Each structure stands twice: as C-alpha cells, then as structure tokens.
Structure 1
Amino acid sequence: MRGGDLSGSGYVPWTGEYPEGVRSNSFYLGPSTRSAPIISNGTIYLGSESEVSAIDAETGKPIWTIGQTGPVHGTLAIADETVFVPLRNKELLAISASSGIVQWSFKSGSPFVGAPSVDNGIVYSSTQKGRVHALDAATGSPIWTMDAGDAIAPAVALVNDKIAIGVSSGGLFIKDARTGDKRSRVRIGGLVNHPPVVGGNSVYLVSNGKVLSFDVNSRELPWSYPLRLVWTQLWLWQLPVPTPPVPAGFQWQAIPAEGGIEPSTNAGDDFEPKPLVPLSFENSLIITPNQGSAFVTAPAATSNAIYIGSNNNFIYSISADSGKTLWRYRTSSTPVARPTVVGERLYFGTSNGTLHSVNRVNGQGEWSLELGSPLTAPITFASGILYARTEDGSLHKIR
C-alpha cells in the first residue's frame, strides 16, 4: 500500500487526540528527496539521495541501510513485512522490512517514478517512459503491463479492484486492477500535473491548473473513444455537427477564481478548445478563472470533499458532489505538496516553510509551526504524530 493509502487520497481515519503543533524531534537525513516517510511498527522507512533506510521512529537511529541506490524520489510502500522501493536505475526492489535483505528485484526499460501501490498480492509501479507494471508482490513475476505511449503521472490510485492511471500529456485510464483490461479512457487536453486521487466513487485529476472530477465506476463502449475524437475534430473544423459529448464519467471541473470558486453551468467561452480534445462539456461545471489563478497541489480527498492548494495562497475545500466551494483558507504563502487529512483536521505546508493545521469541517485555523524549510513530500501521520520531510534534509516529528 502506498504509505497506507492505496487511493492516494491522503485521508487517515482518526478519532484520537490531535497533534498540538509541538516539534518533539528533528533528524538530519542528508540531501532531501521527494520520498515521504512511511511508518510501520515503530520504524520509519524512506529513500534519500543515495540510499534506502529503516530508522527507529523514537530515537532516529538507523536499523538498516541499503546504499548506492541513487536518488529515491518515490515514496516507498510496505505490505506483508515487505518494503517496495522504486529506483531511478530502472529497478523495483522488494526488501525485508525487518532485515533490509533484498527479496527480489524487477528491471524495467526506464526509471521507476513515484510511489508503488500494493493490493491483493499485486504491486503496481510506473516508469518514466509510460509503462505501468503489475507484478506478483511475493515473487516479482509480471502479471500485466500497460504501455501508455507517453509519460505517466508518478503514481496510480486503486479502489474497488480498479486502477486509475494519469498520463502526463493529458489522459486518464481506468482499468481492471487484476487483469489490466480497460474500462474507460478520457483525453483531458492539458498536462496532468499530479497523480490521480480517488475519494468515494470519484477520481480527481489536476490539469493545467484545473481540478477535474470523474466517476471511477464509469465504463465506455469500445467504439466511443475514437468516435469522440473524430467528432471533436469535425466540430473544431466548424462543420455542421452538434457539440461533442462529454467524456465517460465526467462530473465537473473547477479552477480558483476571484472571491472563491463560483460555479457556472455555461461552458461557453471559459476555455479554449484544442485539436482532438473534447473540452466543451454540456451541463458541466466550468469556472471563470481569476487571471493566473491555478491549483498547484494534488488534492486530498474524502467521500464528500476535496482539499487543494492554489497559487493565490489559498487552500480550498470543494464539494465532491457539485464542485462548489465549501470554504477557503488564506495561507501564509503558496501551498506545496498534497495536503493530508487526519480525522477532522487538515495538515499542509507552504513555500515559506510553515506547517498549518486547519479544522476541515469549518475551515478555521488551529495552529501553525515554522519548520524553517518547505516540505518536499506530503505529511505522514502515524500513532498521533505528524512526520514532515523538508528541503533542508530534515525529518521533523510533530506532536
């Protein structure tokens, strides 16, 4: 599982005491990477500039280290006492969580990127040149492989035996997780900036500063995707054809605007169509943007809302059903990394090195803490403690 979070949603159910914003300890780990820490049985597992380490969560002392791996920018995954490590040297490693002994390795044709995910005995991991590998988690034997033909967003999302895969050039695939059979495919028309995130029955993608919502259970007829592409091209040539249909499962899209997100059902002039991309969606939620405003983080998601940072220094809470703003919170500077939801709290970092805690129900600030350096990865939560990895090479424990 990807840090205990197959869906990529950043949501952790919690009913206990919440951290009060007190830094109890900091460990220097050397040059930082985008590998967020994962915590299991009192041990922190993470990748760094040239090694993979298991660290005692209480003392910060190393338990084992594997060196000469090269930079590890993907967050590790742990399942059944095995740690899965994506490497830039084109290898995916399975390592014993207790001993650090390599159990198997799988070699691909390009570097592994992002976070692997493990579910039902299968590990899923994507590569820089557009392949997703589904491997037997016990042996590393291939089960299925998908070639997207282009770079893939750094991680996949899994829910209810389905896998959501974002293609960087502007696409979303939803497949059967066990067989790799295609359920639906959507062409977005803009760069996909972050991995897909699933909350409830919706999958969210951030593309060109917008967040888009799709029904993860949607299916398309075998001929519908190529038909929609041809139809859209004819429409762009201004031939006498109706407006192209919406992509399979499309629900709404939103972008930050002056005074918050103001929904409109008029798709008319709010964006510019591009060749072969069905961007004019009838009855969709299109938002009139404030000039230059854009979402800049992946969303955290629950079944009823998403939480996402923008470059106009806000965190937005957006209804999962309608795409309307529930609240927005003014931040000290631009949010960085996907927020983390713990019970009724929302935790996120900003570019000036501040960690914020906000009540996710009403959008009221709880506390803020100066870390001295921005986050390089989302906050990790375990046993009432927040773990924050920052650009200065430190790992902070916050109680």
Structure 2
Amino acid sequence: MKTLNAIAASVTLAALLAGCAGDVQPQYPPKELTDISASTQVESRWSESVGDGLGKATYPIEPALAGNRLFAADKEGLVEAFNTTNGDTLWEIELDTPVSSGLTAVDGDLYLATRNGRVIAINQTNGEVKWRTRVPSEVLAAPQPNTQQLIIQAVDGTVTALDRASGQQQWVYSANLPALTLRSAGTPAVVDQVTFAGFSNGRLSIIDNSSGQQVSERTVAVATGMNEIDRLVDLAGQPVLTPDGRLYVTSYNGRLVALNAQSGQTLWSTELSSYLTPVLVGDTLYVIDEASQLIAFDARNGNELWRMDDLYGRSLTAPAFADGRIVVGDVEGYVHFIDANNGRLVGRTHIDDSGISVRPLTDGKRVYALANDGSLEALDIRP
C-alpha cells in the first residue's frame, strides 16, 4: 500500500509523491515568528536525551505519563523511564526491534508497538518485558486499553484485540483501504464494550469488543477529488469520546463531525481538513487544521468561537491543554502557549532545531516536550 507522511503536510502532496527535494513550494507557506507580549513565563525544569530520537521518518513515538514516571522511547528500541521531579533515569532497556508507535502507560504496565508488527508489554517499575505478540503489520498508533483488552490499529487497516494480561490474540477486524493513504493509521477510541476506529477510507467503524464484529459504520468523509491525492480522506486523528456519549472525529479533506456515540446520529458537522487529534476542554473543542490554524469550536453546536492563524503553515503538533493554555509544538522546535479563552499567543520557548512532531505531554500543569532528535524537556508554566 502506498503511503504518505502526514507530518509533512506543509509541503505539497504532489511534490512529496514525485520525490522532489529542491525548489518545492510549501502548500501553506509558514509564517515567521514575531515578538509577542508574553504573559506566560516558561521555565525549563530539566532536560534529558532519549537515544536517537524519532528518526528521519519522525515516527510518532509519543511519551507516556504514569504518576511520577515519564516513559519515552527512540526509533531504535531504547525505552527509558524518568523521574518527573528531576529527570533522573529510573531504568532503561534496549529492545531488539525498532519502535514505531506512541507509548501507553496504564495500571503498572507500559505498552508500545514496532515496525515489524510486534506489540510489547513492559513492567513500569523495572522495565522487564512481560510479553510480546505479533499483529498483522507495522503499528504507528499507540495501543489503546480498556479494562481487559489492548486494542491495536495497524497501518494495513487491521484492528486487533489482545488480552492485556497475556498478550493473547482475541480477534482481528479488517477494513478495506484505498491505494493511497497518509502515512498515519488512526488511533482508536476504546471503551469496555466497543472500539471506535477511523480508517483512511473516510469511515468510522464501531466494533464489538467481545466478538470483533462490526456493529455499525458511519461515513465521515467522502472522496470527491479528480486524482488520488485530492481523494485522500483519512481519519488519522483519534476520535474524542466524552463521558456523556458524544464523539468528535476529524478527517483529512473532509469534515469535523460530532456524533452520538450510541446511535451514530450526527449532532453537527463542519467542513474542515485535519489529520490531528483535537482536545476537548469543558464545552470547547480545539482543532488544528491542515494549514496549522488553531480553531476553537463550541462542542455543543459546532459554532466557531475563534480562529488563530499566527502559526499558519508551521506544521503544528496536535494540541494539548495545560492550566488554561493550549500547547503545541512546531517544525522549528518551538513550543507555543495560547490562551484557551481567546486564542492569543501568551508564551513560547525553543527546545531543539530538529523540530517537534509529537504532541506535547501534560499533567495539567507541567509540559513535557520531545523533539525529533530525542531532546526531552520538562517545562513549568507561570503564572
């Protein structure tokens, strides 16, 4: 299956497919940074390095938090646990296979996946590998747990359920994908009963977790372009599921859709192209579109509250939320802090020239930013 790197969305897709290296004009010319009136002070608490980083392909190896431990990995298979207070290394291990997915930490275990389709469970306390299981193909999406299962979505359109305790396979669901997709498998949203999985065919499948059978399917985006590039409609971001059963789904070349998770009824939708996971804070949904505009929507009705284009074309990461600010990284290695109420830039700090392509990680107050070369920095924000 042909793929594209979704992280390179600031460059024309046609140029990427042709393999052009020089004189390529960005589809969304990046804005230069200008001075801001910073009301948020950003202080580096500690910094470390995580091996060789994410590699030239910038694998989406997003770190994970659990209590006072932060877990991170590099593309070659180095996995490390850090003390969040001071950055001290608690343990590190070298896996015998390259890591490709984001990390997930839950209930004393750490889960990740690899380029050759292995899923690995690691003890959070000492780094001991508990089990390894193969799935059909390479995995870019972080494994997603419910109470008993681990759900794995691979780049070939398969979704696999594993027993969390043993790694034993329970079922495999397969979706039919188009010939050309973004190089980014959607990350499923998982509860005990069902899995909500978005695919590069523009459809969202609801899968019964007891059987692996599809319960229903909803079309989020429809391919309408004249060529394969224009017809990309990947659901590359993770659906956002609320406790009261609302589901928010982004799509590339498609729509932002709010659904009733139980009935599948569309609550509202708006034309918007995004390959990134939104963040929901209260009744406000924050979305980064493909041009790196940050847009705030009223999550109840889809009304646009404000739009910030100060970082236009800067290949922003998915947004995170920390203490009243939206936090994003960019292609030049800056972390930006935006007032969640009005979209005003209120703070900025630089991590590394290699750029930032994975979403900053927060515990609600502190921010952890991982640059593409493996530079990892813990940031405190004030006031």
TM over 0.5: yes
2:351 maps to 1:371: yes
1:315-361 residue CA offsets vs partner (Å, 9 max, x unmatched)? 11012233221111232343522101235321112333322222212
Alignment of 1:1-399 (within 5 A): 20-33=41-54, 34-50=60-76, 51-150=78-177, 153-159=185-191, 161-187=193-219, 188-190=221-223, 191-200=233-242, 201-219=245-263, 248-255=264-271, 294-295=273-274, 297-302=276-281, 304-333=283-312, 334-342=314-322, 344-373=324-353, 374-382=355-363, 384-399=365-380
* Alpha-carbon distance change, 366 to 112 in structure 1, aligned in 2, over 3 angstroms: same
* Alpha-carbon distance change, 138 to 199 in structure 1, aligned in 2, over 3 angstroms: closer
Q: Please tell me the residue identity of whatever aligns with 1:183.
A: V
Tell me, what secondary structure is at the counterpart of 2:93? strand
Give 1:307 deviation, angstroms.
Answer: 0.9
Normalising by structure 1, we get a TM-score of 0.72
1:170-202 residue CA offsets vs partner (Å, 9 max, x unmatched)? 211022344434332023324215233214333
Q: Please tell me the residue identity of whatever aligns with 1:40.
A: A
Q: Does structure 1 conserve the Cα–Cα contact (< 8 Å) formed by 2:274 and 2:288?
A: yes
Give 1:397 deviation, angstroms.
Answer: 0.9
Q: Does structure 2 conserve the Cα–Cα contact (< 8 Å) formed by 1:335 and 1:348?
A: no
CA distance in 2, matches of 1:83, 1:162: 22
Query: What's the RMSD between the two structures over aligned residues?
Result: 2.6
CA distance in 1, matches of 2:210, 2:339: 38
Give 1:142 deviation, angstroms.
Answer: 2.3
Q: Please tell me the residue identity of whatever aligns with 2:119.
A: L
Q: Please tell me the residue identity of whatever aligns with 2:195.
A: I
Gaps of at least 5 residues in structure 2 are 1-38, 55-59, 224-232
CA distance in 2, matches of 1:320, 1:162: 23
Give 1:41 deviation, angstroms.
Answer: 3.2
* Alpha-carbon distance change, 35 to 144 in structure 1, aligned in 2, over 3 angstroms: same
Q: Does structure 2 conserve the Cα–Cα contact (< 8 Å) formed by 1:164 and 1:203?
A: no
Normalising by structure 2, we get a TM-score of 0.74
CA distance in 1, matches of 2:153, 2:267: 27
Structure 2 counterpart of 1:279: none
1:264-293 residue CA offsets vs partner (Å, 9 max, x unmatched)? xxxxxxxxxxxxxxxxxxxxxxxxxxxxxx
Q: Please tell me the residue identity of whatever aligns with 1:306.
A: L
The 4+ residue runs of structure 1 with deviation greater than 6 A are: none
CA distance in 2, matches of 1:182, 1:216: 17
CA distance in 1, matches of 2:42, 2:131: 40
* Alpha-carbon distance change, 302 to 144 in structure 1, aligned in 2, over 3 angstroms: farther
Gaps of at least 5 residues in structure 1 are 1-17, 220-247, 257-293
* Alpha-carbon distance change, 207 to 311 in structure 1, aligned in 2, over 3 angstroms: closer
1:230-268 residue CA offsets vs partner (Å, 9 max, x unmatched)? xxxxxxxxxxxxxxxxxx523333246xxxxxxxxxxxx
Q: Please identify the structure whose Cα radius of gyration is greater.
A: 1
Q: Does structure 1 conserve the Cα–Cα contact (< 8 Å) formed by 2:248 and 2:256?
A: yes
1:109-136 residue CA offsets vs partner (Å, 9 max, x unmatched)? 3222210011112111112222111111
Give 1:386 deviation, angstroms.
Answer: 0.5
Q: Please tell me the residue identity of whatever aligns with 1:116.
A: P
* Alpha-carbon distance change, 54 to 397 in structure 1, aligned in 2, over 3 angstroms: same
CA distance in 2, matches of 1:182, 1:214: 20
Q: Please tell me the residue identity of whatever aligns with 1:26.
A: S
CA distance in 1, matches of 2:160, 2:207: 13
Q: What is the aligned-residue identity percentage?
A: 21
Give 1:211 deviation, angstroms.
Answer: 3.4
Q: Please tell me the residue identity of whatever aligns with 1:44.
A: L
Give 1:160 deviation, angstroms.
Answer: 6.9
Q: Please tell me the residue identity of whatever aligns with 2:249.
A: L
Q: Please tell me the residue identity of whatever aligns with 1:324.
A: N
* Alpha-carbon distance change, 305 to 335 in structure 1, aligned in 2, over 3 angstroms: farther
1:8-57 residue CA offsets vs partner (Å, 9 max, x unmatched)? xxxxxxxxxx9842222221223322212112232221221212222333
* Alpha-carbon distance change, 177 to 342 in structure 1, aligned in 2, over 3 angstroms: farther
Give 1:311 deviation, angstroms.
Answer: 4.5
Give 1:312 deviation, angstroms.
Answer: 4.3
